[in-house]
Structure 1
């Protein structure tokens, strides 16, 4: 699932933001050592956080039926995970970096979700859309300065891209065979020890068996 999102973002950036220009698109951690080794204009999409979007979690099971119409399996609803990318531009001049960031921002603003033709493989198994956001404020428990501190680098202009991916849990519950004998009740006396097993709902016999109905005398 993560690999498919990486590929989708790479294609989106290359085709719509960069327009075929000779700019590298990488997913490396933008540390000081990496920045020192870089020798070409680069767009970096660093995946720095993965966490479940618990607000989207659904309860219950979905049913899958066979050709005969009977339930065969039951599955939990997909879970939704937020993949956060730190998007930065690296060139020799800050002005060029700002132009790249502007192109990237305009590219991502065009899409509320990943395009359908880029949702493939495990990412497409649930049949759900894959939402995408750009530049939203970070959660209260995380700041971008903390991310740069963890990378050991200096704070740099960046875009925060969040892709919310639906993920099939892979859990499958096999359904039991359909009931064929109807409902019955077993009753027992816990004190006296008596029992009445297999009690079913009473069904009146046909009229031909019951005989003619008697009238009450007036």
Structure 2
């Protein structure tokens, strides 16, 4: 999930926010050693903190349905995690760094969430929004001065970018409901062929309606209503799945 957010941010910044600007994008820790190796104007997004957003946690189960309205799986609600990036600009002149920070701030303020069309991988599969904030003061236990001290560098103008991303919980698949009637087998003691009888769990079909073959699931409830036939209607064909 983290690498997917990195990929989305890279595309968003290079193709939209900083489009047409000759600058590199990096996700390295901005240490003194990294700074010494830098040889071009660079915008750095350093992921310095990962923590769960407990305010977004939900209990219960989310049910998934097939095309016939039958529960096929259930899963826990997604969990949300805040990914905090320290965004800095690195050039030969402070004025150019400030210009880059201004472009970043202005461009990211236009996005309350990551653009849906840019979501990839598991984030795209979930179909949920991914909120972002820019330049919001960090929590008290995450002072930026402490971060620079840990990196061994001097304090530098920066933006705090936080991406609150969902992670899908494990899915528990539900068993298919039993919809066949009771199947009885009888044997003719006089030596005739075995006969087969079925006692339906539902009323017999109306006169003229096709009986449901043994082993084929019968349409019930809202699925039957959608297909315009009673709950004891004919078998579900492959084309209707």
State the TM-score bracket (shorter-chain normalisation): 0.7 to 0.9
Segments of structure 2 that go 5 or more residues without pairing to the other structure are 182-241
Shift, 1:175, TM fit = 4.3
Which residue in the other structure is 1:187 paired with? none
The yes-or-no answer on 1:122 pairing with 2:122 is: yes
Give a deviation string over 1:52-71, Cα, whole Å, max 9, x none.
11100111101122344332
Q: 1:154 to 1:66 in 2, by over 3 A?
A: same
Which residue in the other structure is 1:30 paired with? 30
| TM-score normalised by structure 2 residue count | 0.71
CA distance in 1, matches of 2:67, 2:39: 60
Q: 1:70, 1:178 within 8 Å by CA — same for their partners in 2? A: no
CA distance in 1, matches of 2:51, 2:180: 45
Q: 1:66, 1:72 within 8 Å by CA — same for their partners in 2? A: yes
**RMSD (Å), alpha carbons:** 1.8
Shift, 1:93, TM fit = 0.7
Equivalent pairs, count: 181
Q: Which has the higher contact order (CA 8 A, sep 6+)?
A: 1
Segments of structure 1 that go 5 or more residues without pairing to the other structure are 182-218
Query: Radius of gyration: which is bigger?
Result: 1
Q: 1:74, 1:175 within 8 Å by CA — same for their partners in 2? A: no
Which residue in the other structure is 1:146 paired with? 146
Q: 2:73, 2:171 within 8 Å by CA — same for their partners in 1? A: no
CA distance in 1, matches of 2:16, 2:65: 42
The yes-or-no answer on 1:161 pairing with 2:161 is: yes
Query: Which secondary structure state, in structure 1, belongs to the residue aligned with residue 30 of structure 2?
Result: coil
Give a deviation string over 1:172-196, Cα, whole Å, max 9, x none.
2434745999xxxxxxxxxxxxxxx
Which residue in the other structure is 2:53 paired with? 53
CA distance in 2, matches of 1:67, 1:17: 41
